[in-house]
Amino acid sequence: MPDRFDSVFRPGLFAGQVHVVTGGGTGIGRCIAHELACLGAHVVVTGRRPEPLEETVDEIEAAGGEASFKLMNIRDEEQVAAVVGEIVAERGRLDGLVNNAGGQFPSPAEKIPAKGWRAVVDTNLNGTFIVSQAVFNHWMGEHGGAIVSIAADMWVGYPGMAHTGAARAGVVNLTRTLGLEWVRHGVRVNAVAPGVILSSGMLNYPPEVIARAAKGSRGFPPSRLGTESEVSAAVAFLLSPAAAFITADTLRVDGGASLYKTHFTPMGNHDRLPSWDGFHLSPRVPEELLGASEPEKE
């Protein structure tokens, strides 16, 4: 394994820039932080717990990149405004924001408690707006910039996670609105909608949920889970000058799963799309879980 992120983008792409990645201590956010740092950005990772943030910063610095962290609860409007203000004061600029922080839990809709529903919507949707607004008001409104939010594959509903499906659908619509409203300020706003991704965040779910995701991924082309690097590459592209004429849009990184109508056009399993994984610290799910299947019903 290499000792630093192996990005497909040219070295120094974001040299001299400052990028913020919310929820950058774990999962896809950690991978995104590594890639942006390897491309020359100073990356500020934020989250509610210091330990994973410190670990990510240490990893990035060990790989030769620049990073720092800030404790920030994206649901707390006053705290977000204060932290974003601190970042601008300390770094002198804020070129990119990745709204990655989020959270959810699997549950049938009828069993989701109101408190749990509000917490998921507040984090995934309201938090995305609060941080975006703070970044716009403290820097991007006058200087321009790029915002990329992480959504999800919720295009045909999200059975088992109604709360996050509704919230992420809101993020997609918010992306369209902000992308149109703020373009006159030189601010591009886009989103990335990952499918089922093999990330360290997946390891937080119960084994049966991991097994179900792995089994389900074999039911649509390209018959595999996505990698964190594939999501990160999409984010880096949308933050880059190559996406200068793209705003208010959502890029799906799901292997075509959101378009696959298995009931109408069976296509079988195919393994013709090789995966891309440039993350030197990419997670590995135990083989016994990837190969596991749910017990058959009597």
Domain 18-288: which topology? Rossmann fold (3.40.50)
> Domain coordinates of the chain in residue numbers?
18-288
Please give the share of the chain, as a percent, with pLDDT higher than 90.
70
pLDDT at 264: 41
| Structure tokens given for 183 | 């373009």
In the chain, the amino acid numbered 153 is D
Asked if residue 69 lies in contact with residue 94, where contact means CB atoms within 8 angstroms, the answer is no
Q: pLDDT band at 260, cuts 50/70/90?
A: confident
Asked if residue 209 lies in contact with residue 168, where contact means CB atoms within 8 angstroms, the answer is no
The set of long-range contacts for 63-67, using a CB threshold of 8 Å and a minimum separation of 24, is: 63/3, 63/4, 63/5, 63/34, 63/37, 63/38, 63/280, 64/4, 64/38, 65/4, 65/34, 65/37, 65/38, 66/37, 66/41, 66/42, 67/33, 67/37, 67/42, 67/43
Q: pLDDT band at 294, cuts 50/70/90?
A: very low
Give Cα 226 distance to the centre of its chain. 13
Give Cα 52 distance to the centre of its chain. 16
Rounded CA separation 139/144 (Å): 8
Average pLDDT, the chain: 89
pLDDT digits (tens, 9 = 90+) for 70-87: 999 999 999 999 999 999
- Across 88-104, b (16+ Cβ under 10 Å) vs e yields beebeebbbbbbbbbeb
Greater pLDDT, 112 or 204: 112
pLDDT at 82: 98
Whether residue 262 is predicted with pLDDT greater than 70 in this model: the reply is no
Helix (H) / strand (E) element for 252: namely: strand 250-253
Tell me how crowded residue 258 is: count the other CB atoms within 10 A of its CB: 15
No. of helices (H) and no. of strands (E), the chain: 10, 9
Whether residue 235 is predicted with pLDDT greater than 80 in this model: the reply is yes
Name the one residue in this structure whose structure tokens are 């800030």. Answer: 70
